[in-house]
Structures are given as structure tokens and as C-alpha cells.
Amino acid sequence: LGQQWRLVAAGPIGSFQLENRLDGRVATLAAADKFNGTAVVAARAVGRASQQWRLFQLQLRLATGAPYFTAPEPLAALNSPTGNELQPVPAADGKRLYFSRTKFAGNVEGVAESGDIWLSESADQGRTWGPPARLETPAGLNTQHNNAVQAVVGPADKPALLVRGTYEAAGFKDEGASRVALAGGKPVPLRIATYYTTNVATGFYLTPDEKILLLALERDDSQGANDLYISRPDGAGGYTVPQSLGAVINSPGYEFAPWLSADTKTLYFSSYGHLGYGSADIFRSQRLDDSWEKWSPPQNLGPRFNGPGYDGFFALGPDGAAYYASSGKTDNAPRKLLRTAPGPAPTDTIPPPIDPEKAPRALVTGRVLDARTSQPLAGAAQVQALLLGSTIDFRSTAQAGAAGFQLSLVPGRYRVTTTAGLLTKVDTFVVAPGEVRRYEPRLTPATVGSRLDLPAIIFTQGQAKLLGSAYPTLNNLAASMKDNVQLEIRLEGHTDNVGDAAKNVVLSEQRVAEVKRYLVSRGVADSRITTVGYGGSRPKFANDREETRKLNRRVELVITK
């Protein structure tokens, strides 16, 4: 397990052919394949041009010891016939239960993937719950976007909610988290030092005393997809730089929905990466010291809580009862809320293991081609497939060299992004169970004078503030420039034609200056980047409709050397 390995792009679905490499330098990627109980190769960044890999052996550890719970029961009063009920958050007084509901006609956005916040109240300290209602107080928390309560915080006489996203004058922004008093008022964004994530699906948990903030983010030091991080008060009203909980908790897969016990020593979380019974499972781990980096191996809560489908968002109430969301026997079924109360130790505290069901996979193989020659593209390329229409994202990534690439995918509709340096191509296709598909994306190599659109670089409307979705593209651009030290570029900023023309020129200049500032912060020399702002004077699309006008708010890159 301590040696270095390289993945060879061959072998059947659900298995990896590994070649021993003792020099510690490899350059290919294997995604987690927990469904088949296979060893997983995980990535760790060593430098911009190469990566180090370790063998991540999957092992099912079942939870033993207290606390014990009774058999989970559905919260029938809260669960709708067709919608998804997710993210239960019980209040400390035992009288309120917040949750998120998606694909429901009663939401602000109607039947959609994004969710609204709903509230149910109890007159008997959580033993039974009344019919839920969409949250109206504090006002304005439910928007057309994905809204959810993450925690109930503050003193008993002045409670507040921690909610996803930020609420600005220009509208809701799905980035970071905000604190809002239950008595009313404007949501205040949490100030988190060096906050960024390359994954739009984020999650947060804040202890009632607001001294420990847990985050589910994908950052440069992540083991795979979303990892769990901790941040603490910085003494100035904000929170410190997120610190990873480490490789024991964070797998090459996807961790989310952290929740702490009252003494902050037991962490409950959900994961697609650790071995379990279905897609996402619920786990717990004990904190071993105050560094927040040393943990006991995560234990699966077992078949009473985790089934063949999706199980996640485990949350503890003040009476020791637990709430969570489950899709039951299949991953595609609607998620429903369940409750389990504290109970006695079972006669057999170690239930017999159940073999995880193997997911029906599709195999996508191919090569990344040079569009000019139809031959394999020279240099490194990456192919990433992101499952669309899922509450929690599933992604598979492969490095494509001369030998090509291979992706093992669960059935569904995917957005497939191919990148090679500054070049990007995006396609969408559907794969069926057991399908074998050949896919050969074509990229045209960039030369001096080449002009590249950077559509993922998006700003807050009317401002020069980057949105979180811009960082993956900027990180890739910075990495490419560090790998190609002779490369020099010009960044050109453009706006639409709304507003004062002179102010639009200034705004476009400020935006490309912000992009340059970020690239320099990532290690690119200032002298290699020039900038210019054109305002709305060079539209590429018609400005008469918002659908096309928004495409003119863009940044373009020109290779100058």
C-alpha cells in the first residue's frame, strides 16, 4: 500500500490494472469505484505537471458501541408523494424541524432540482410533527435557486439560521453561507478567509455556539471530489482558512453533510467514497485530538440506516433522536425523511455484512484527437464526465494520453468536458446500463494569435467580483501557464450594452484586472499577462434579448507569445 502506482487504461469495468512505479511520479487518474469493492487509486498534487498516487483500499467497518438507535420510521407528515425531502435540521428547542424540499410544485421555482426551505413544528418535543409549510419568516430566504438551512445557531433567546448562499442586492448567489436572525433582518454572509470551491454543490455545519464551522468543499488539497474542512472564528468577526479533516475522513470520492455531536467529538457525515451498502451512506468517526486531523477509521452505520439506495444528511436533535434522508432500495427513488430515537443496545451489535449491490455501469473509451490531423493530441489531456440531474454530483475523471482514456459511469445523462492546457470542449450524452461507447473529442491546438473564450469566468452582475464557478477555469489556466513558462497572454474584457458606455469600459477593465490578480496569486508572473477592457463596443451576440445579451458579458484570452 505504500508504493507508487500508475493506472494502465485497460481492463474490464469495475477493475483496475496497476503497474508498479517506484519513482513516485505518475500522471493518470482513476475515479473511485466503491460499487464493486475495488481498490481505488487516489490523486495527490505534487506539482503542476505531475501527480503522486496512493492505493486507497476500500474496507467496510460497521459501527459498534453507543449511541444506539431504534428502527428508523418515515416522517409521514413531512414526506410528499412525489418530491424530495432532504437536509433535516432540528432546532435546539425540539419544537422546529427545518428541511429542504425539491421537485415540488409548492416551491417558489415549482418542480425543479433546486430546493426551498420548509418548516414543521412539534408540540411534544419532536415525537410527532405537524404538517410542514414553506418558510416565510425570515422573509426572502426562498428564491429560484437551491436554498437550505444548514444549522440553527445562537443563544436560545436570539436564535439564528445558517443558510446556503448569500443574499445580495442583485439577488441570490449560490456561494458560501449566511447567518440570519430568526427575528428577521438581512442575511449576513459569513466571512471565510481564502474561501473558494471548484464544486458548486457545497454544504456547511455550524455548532450552536458558532465556534466550529464545518464545510464540504472541493479545493486544491482535496482527496477527490468534495472533502470536509474545519474553520474557526478568527477574532475579527470572520472564520479562518478552511483546514482539511485529513485523509482518514476524506476519500477519493465525495463527502458531504457533516454533523457534530454535542461534545464535538463524534462526526457524522455522508460519503460516496467509503465502502457501503448503496450509493451514498452515513458514517461516523471519533475525533482523537484537538488538531482536527486525527480521526478513528469511519464506521458505516450499518444496514439499519444504509440501504442499496441513497442515505445522507444525518442530524441529531436535542433529545438524542436522529433524522436523515433516504431513497430506500434504489438510488433514483425520491428521498424521504426518517426519524430514529435513542434505544437500547441490540442483542447482536454487529449485524451480518450485506454485499453492496453492484451498479450497472457503462464503459466509455476513446482518445483525444487533434482536430487538424485526426491523430491523438500531443501532451496531456483530461476528460471529466459529470452526471446531470442528480442531487449530489457523480463525476468520473480520466487522464488521456496516447493510449487513450476509459471512464466507468453509472447510467444517466452526462456533461463531458475535455481539457488540454487552455483548450476545452464540452459535449452532452446519455449512457445506458452496460453500454460500451466510443468517444473521441477533437481539440484544435492554440497558436500565437489564437483567441479563446472563457465562458466559465462569470462575475457578479455590475461588479468585478468573481463567482465561485470561475475558479476551476482559472486554476486550469494558471496551471497551464506554469507548465508553459514561455506562454504570454492578453485578457480582454467585454460587457453588454446596458448602462453608461464609459462606465462599462471601466467595469470591463476592472474585471480583467481581477482575473489577472488571481492568476498572479497562483504563481503566474505579472509580466506575462496584459489586459484591456472594451466595455460593450465589441458584442459577439445580439443585445436585443437577455438570452443572447448575457453572452456578451465575457472574458476572452489571446495568446501573444
Are the CB atoms for 377 and 300 separated by under 8 Å? no
Which range (7-21, 134-148, 341-355) has the least confidence? 7-21
Burial class of residue 515 (count of CB atoms within 10 Å of its CB; 0-12, 13-18, 19+): buried
Q: What is the pLDDT of residue 375?
A: 86
pLDDT at 27 over 80: no
Give the contacts of 503 (CB within 8 A, at least 6 positions apart).
Answer: none
Beta-sheet pairing, 529-533 with 489-493? parallel
The 10 Å Cβ neighbour count of residue 387 is 18
Average pLDDT over residues 142-148: 91
**Which superfamily does 451-559 belong to?**
OmpA-like domain (3.30.1330.60)
240: its cell numbers: 479562518
The conformation of residue 499, written as its DSSP 8-state character, comes to: S
In this prediction, residue 195 carries a pLDDT of 93
The count of other CB atoms within 10 Å of the CB of residue 525 is 12
SS3 472: helix
What pLDDT, on a 0 to 100 scale, did the predictor assign at position 130? Answer: 93
What is the pLDDT, as a whole number, of residue 162?
97
CATH topology agreement for domains 73-340 and 451-559:
no
What is the three-state SS of 330-342? CCCCCCEEEEECE
Binning pLDDT at 50, 70 and 90, where does residue 438 land? Answer: very high
Query: Based on C-alpha coordinates, what's the Rg of the chain?
Result: 24
Burial degree of 350 (CB within 10 A; 0-12, 13-18, 19+) = exposed
* Per-residue pLDDT at 390: 59
Query: What pLDDT, on a 0 to 100 scale, did the predictor assign at position 561?
Result: 86
Residue found by looking up cell 494502465 in the block: 8
In DSSP notation, 374-405 reads SSBPSS-EEEEEEESS-SS--EEEEEEBTTBE
Percent of all residues in the chain with a pLDDT value above 90, rounded to a whole number: 35
What lies within 8 Å, CB to CB, of 19 at 6+ separation is 5, 6, 7, 8
**pLDDT for res 23:** 35
3-state secondary structure (DSSP) of residue 408: strand
Bridge partners, 256 (sequence order):
270
Q: How far apart are CA 245 and CA 215, in angstroms?
A: 10
Q: Is the pLDDT assigned to residue 121 strictly greater than 70?
A: yes
Are 415 and 426 within 8 A, CB to CB? yes
Confidence (pLDDT) at 349: 47
Compute the distance between CA of residue 98 and CA of residue 107 in angstroms, rounded to an integer. 15
- The x, y and z cell numbers of residue 214, run together, are 464545518
Q: Give the C-alpha separation, 224 to 212, whole Å.
A: 23
What is the reported pLDDT for 360?
Answer: 64
Examine the pLDDT at 19 and tell me if it is beyond 50: no
Return the pLDDT at 46: 34
pLDDT exceeds 80 at position 394: no
DSSP secondary structure code for residue 483 in this structure:
H
pLDDT score, position 297: 92
Verify cis geometry, omega within 30 degrees of 0, for the bond prior to 138.
Answer: yes
Per the model's pLDDT, the better-predicted residue between 468 and 377 turns out to be 377
Cα–Cα distance for residue pair 184/402, rounded to 1 Å: 59
Pairing of strands 489-493, 436-438: unpaired
Strand arrangement, sheet containing 160-168: 149-153, 160-168, 171-181, 188-189
pLDDT digits (tens, 9 = 90+) for 442-491: 887 777 888 777 766 767 667 787 766 677 778 778 877 887 788 899 99
**For 73-340, which CATH class?**
mainly beta
pLDDT at position 456, please? 60
Task: Note whether 7 and 51 are within 8 A (CB).
Answer: no
Q: What is the pLDDT confidence band of residue 396, given thresholds at 50, 70 and 90? A: low
346 falls in which pLDDT band (50, 70, 90)? low
What is the residue-averaged pLDDT of the chain?
Answer: 80
Higher confidence at residue 516 or residue 399?
A: 516
Element (H, E) at 150: strand 149-153
pLDDT at 281 over 60: yes
**Distance between CA atoms of residues 40 and 313, nearest Å:** 25
The one-letter code for the residue type at 102 is: T
Total residues found in the chain within this entry: 561
363: β partners:
408, 436
Q: Quick one: average pLDDT of 322-336?
A: 83
pLDDT, residue 402, reads 65
Phi and psi based region of residue 38 (left: phi greater than 0; alpha: psi -120 to 50; beta: remaining):
beta
What phi and psi values does residue 262 have, to the nearest 5 degrees? -60, -30
Looking at residues 47-65, what average pLDDT do you find? 53
What 3-state class would DSSP assign to 258?
A: strand
Distance from C-alpha of 530 to C-alpha of 526, rounded to nearest angstrom: 8
Average pLDDT over residues 304-331: 87
Contact between residue 268 and residue 320 where contact means Cβ atoms under 8 Å apart: no
Top-confidence residue, 22 or 165: 165
In this predicted structure, the answer to whether residue 259 has a pLDDT above a threshold of 80 is yes
Give the model confidence (pLDDT) of 161-208 as tens digits: 999 999 988 889 888 999 999 988 899 999 999 999 887 789 999 999
Q: Can you read off the three cell numbers belonging to residue 401?
A: 494520453
Res 209 pLDDT > 90: yes
Residue 2's pLDDT is 30
Nearby residues of 62 by Cβ (< 8 Å), 6 or more positions away = 299, 300, 302, 350, 351, 353
What pLDDT, on the 0 to 100 scale, is given for residue 302? 87
Residues 6+ apart with CB under 8 A from 113: 102, 103, 146, 389, 391
Where do the structural domains in the chain lie, given as residue ranges?
1-58, 73-340, 360-445, 451-559
- Report the percent of the chain where pLDDT is more than 70: 82
Contacts of 85 (CB under 8 A, 6+ apart): 75, 78, 79, 99, 100, 101, 118, 325, 334, 335, 336, 337
Q: Which CATH class is domain 360-445?
A: mainly beta
CB proximity list for 385: less than 8 A, separation 6 or greater: 364, 395, 396, 397, 407, 409, 414, 415, 416
How much is the average pLDDT of 87-95? 93
59 confidence band (pLDDT: 50, 70, 90): low
Task: Enter the C-alpha cell of residue 269.
Answer: 457525515
* pLDDT tier, 354 (very low <50, low <70, confident <90, very high otherwise): very low
Q: Which residues contact 264 (CB under 8 A, 6 or more apart)?
A: 207, 212, 287
Is pLDDT at 39 greater than 80 in this prediction? no
Query: What confidence tier does 22 reach under pLDDT thresholds 50, 70, 90?
Result: very low
